[in-house]
Amino acid sequence: MHIHRLEKIWLTFGFSMLAVFLLVLGIMAFSMGITTPGSHRHAIDPAKVSETAPFDQPVLKKVGDNEYEAVMTAFAYGYAPTKMEVPAGATVHFTITSSDVVHGFEIPGTNVNMMVLPGEVNHISHTFKKAGEYLILCNEYCGTGHEFMKTTLVVK
């Protein structure tokens, strides 16, 4: 097969630009200390979630001025703790993991939405400015009782 001289030039130019791009990207990532997303994961043994602190005692606790931390576990068709209360304007830092299967964690009407993987410790924060009752739902199908998986956060 014969390749025309101009085609060879353009192919060489294209592959050279690709090599330069990858080289520059690699050097910049190395010099800036950039790593892959999974390198800073916080994971625990999913079979020992109920024995591992802080998930051995799921609770909503005050950690600062109008700031709360909700340590939660997701399990087959439920969340622990089952009901939480905070004042209006409070920022809640959710720390959650699952002990069995993939679950969802969504608070409709907010930007809180994440997947909860077994043994993976997930973090998300939200400031609840308006009073009301916020429903926390599982939005990942987790089995036959999935539609009953919920908990509430009451903002007063």
pLDDT digits (tens, 9 = 90+) for 141-151: 888 888 888 89
| Whole-number pLDDT of residue 16 | 97
Tell which CATH classification among 1.10.3210.10, 1.20.120.1200, 2.60.40.420, 3.65.10.10 matches the domain 46-155: 2.60.40.420
pLDDT at 37: 59
The DSSP code sequence of the chain is: ----HHHHHHHHHHHHHHHHHHHHHHHHHHHHT---GGGG--B--GGGGGGSTTTTS-EEEEEETTEEEEEEEEETTEEESSEEEE-TTEEEEEEEEESSS-EEEE-TTSS-EEEE-BTB-EEEEEEE-S-EEEEEE--S--STTGGG-EEEEEE-
Q: Regarding beta strands 83-86 and 150-155, do their DSSP bridges make them parallel or antiparallel, or are they unpaired? A: parallel
Q: What is the pLDDT of residue 48?
A: 84
The pLDDT of residue 38: 56
Amino acid symbol at 57 = Q
Q: What is the per-residue pLDDT across 85-99, written as a single tens digit (0 to 9) for each?
A: 999 999 999 999 998
Tokens read off for 54: 């802080």
- The domain locations on the chain are 5-34, 46-155
Can you tell me which residue has the tokens 């809180």? 112
Q: Which residues of the chain have a pLDDT value below 50?
A: none
Per-residue pLDDT at 24 = 93
What pLDDT does 103 receive? 92
* CB atoms inside a 10 Å sphere around CB 53: 8
What is the pLDDT at residue 12? Answer: 96
Stated pTM of the model: 0.70
Other Cβ atoms less than 10 A from the Cβ of 101: the count is 17
Residue 144's pLDDT is what?
85
Q: What is the pLDDT of residue 96?
A: 92
User: What pLDDT sits at residue 133?
Assistant: 93
